[in-house]
Amino acid sequence: MREKATTLYFGPQHPGITGNMMIRLKVEGDTIVKATIEVGYLHRGFEKLQEKRNWLQSFTLLCRFCVPEPDPVEESYARAVELLEGREVPERAKYIRVMMLELARMGAYMLWYGGQNASLGLYTMGQWSVGDRNYILDLFEELTGGRIYHMYIWPGGVRRDLPEGFADKVLRTMDYFEKRLKDYDDLMFSSTIFRKRTQGIGIIPKEKAVEWGVVGPVLRGSGIHSDIRIDDPYEVYDKLDFIVPTEEGGDIWSRALVRRQEVRQSIHIIRQVIEKMPQGEYYNRIPNPLKWALPKGDAYARTEAVRGEVGMYIVSDGSIHPRRTHFRGAAYVHAITLLENLLVGENISDVAAIMNSLGTCPPEIER
């Protein structure tokens, strides 16, 4: 006898969902037979709005693409503009940018730690990691003036130089995090229940991963070594020593292990950056933004974010406004095609866990 399938609405007010989106689940018993992603709760028309703004004003929009980690989007846009204009970036600014990006990566991973565990019913982890994320936000506040939205990485360099004694503060924070990550391991990765809940769930097979367009840590969790920082080095990543971890499993557990190691690599990178950072200029000043026209043409720049590859494509017709901008975000692929494929055959208990392991960001989907 075939059970009658029921429709279950998961989100947008469901506590287990990440951001404002909805999944319509067809469920037989506890098993999902069909998943349909419904987006459109957060459309803000970022790309269209940018066409009405000058080249610098776009930054207030860029950081809202993905709230947990806004810096890679700014970085992509800034580099695309620099590419189009041929503007040189001082060496010191490059190092500061890398430090900024890695701090942002750590901050986003702290949120992931919380989200992934909350989806499995362990709320303590989120309280710890989000509490510790405040130390990163404190650094951001001192450096940029903003805790969440920084608008710090600008075309031509960075907005401000490092304050007095900032490097020491960063190093102290890194020491603190190194200590705390051990506690996180005790709570999360040593837990048998966590392993049992995540192993073999939400498997992305290696051969399918490329076909589905998976990027970032999710792809590395499926055993494919791919990272923009290595494959297409930007800023000073080619001068730094770090490894890109991969895991073979393709399930939530493997993705969690990849992220676990990446936080440690971020700490390693930040320490190197502080050590190697040269003195000198930090900003190749742009002309008056109200009269700042870019040459005709187009440019694309991509950055490795926590969610995967994020890229910004800009087209200029020689005026002070972009003719068209297009943003390529990992969340679009992950939260729509990938999630719809992954959820089929899974238990409804695992929906939130699978979603969190993919690193979705609804505003990025709808832009």
Partner 1 sequence: MILDIYSFSTLTSSIDNSLHNMMSPWMATLTEFVLVGIVFLLFYALLGLFLVYLERKVCAVIQNRIGPNRVGRWGIFQTFADFIKLLMKELITIKHADKFLFNLAPFIVIIASFMAMAALPFAKGLQAIDFNIGIFYVIAVSSLGVVGILIAGWSSNSKYSLIGAMRSGAQIISYELSVGLSLLAIVIFSGSMQLSTIVESQADGWWIFKGHIPAFIAFVLYLITATAEINRGPFDLAEAESELTAGFHTEYSGIKFAFFFLAEYMNMFIVSAIAATLFLGGWMPFHIGGWEGFNQIMDYIPSILWFFGKTFVVIYIIMWFKWTFPRLRIDQMLNLEWKYLLPLNLMNTVIISFVVLMGLYFK
Residues in touch with partner 1 (CB under 8 A) = 6, 8, 14-16, 30, 117-124, 127-128, 131, 187, 191, 193-194, 196-197, 347-352
Give 194 or 237: the residue with its C-beta nearer to partner 1: 194
Cα–Cα distance, 129 to 113 (Å, whole number): 7
Sign of CA dihedral 235, 102, 229, 58: negative
Contact assessment for residue 60 and residue 49, using Cβ atoms and an 8 Å cutoff = no
Residue by residue, what is the 3-state secondary structure of 193-214?
HHHHHHCCCCCCCHHHHHHCCC
Contact assessment for residue 22 and residue 41, using Cβ atoms and an 8 Å cutoff = yes
Give 16 or 311: the residue with its C-beta nearer to partner 1: 16
Shortest distance (Å) from residue 217 CB to partner 1? 20
Sign of CA dihedral 358, 360, 366, 367: negative
Question: What contacts 24+ positions apart, CB below 8 Å, involve 208-212?
Answer: 208/341, 209/250, 212/333, 212/337, 212/338, 212/341
The label of the residue with tokens 């750590």 reads 106
Shortest distance (Å) from residue 51 CB to partner 1? 39
Give 227 or 346: the residue with its C-beta nearer to partner 1: 346
Nearest partner of 343 among 16, 15, 24, judged by Cα: 24
Give 8 or 293: the residue with its C-beta nearer to partner 1: 8
Nearest partner of 314 among 96, 121, 56, judged by Cα: 56
Shortest distance (Å) from residue 176 CB to partner 1? 13
Shortest distance (Å) from residue 104 CB to partner 1? 23
Give 126 or 156: the residue with its C-beta nearer to partner 1: 126
Q: What Cα–Cα distance (Å) separates residue 319 from each residue in 148, 243, 262, 286, 297?
A: 31, 42, 41, 15, 11
Shortest distance (Å) from residue 24 CB to partner 1? 12
Give 160 or 180: the residue with its C-beta nearer to partner 1: 180
The label of the residue with tokens 């367009």 reads 213
Shortest distance (Å) from residue 254 CB to partner 1? 17
Shortest distance (Å) from residue 27 CB to partner 1? 8
Cα–Cα distance, 162 to 168 (Å, whole number): 11
Give 30 or 238: the residue with its C-beta nearer to partner 1: 30
User: Token pair of 282, please?
Assistant: 């930090």
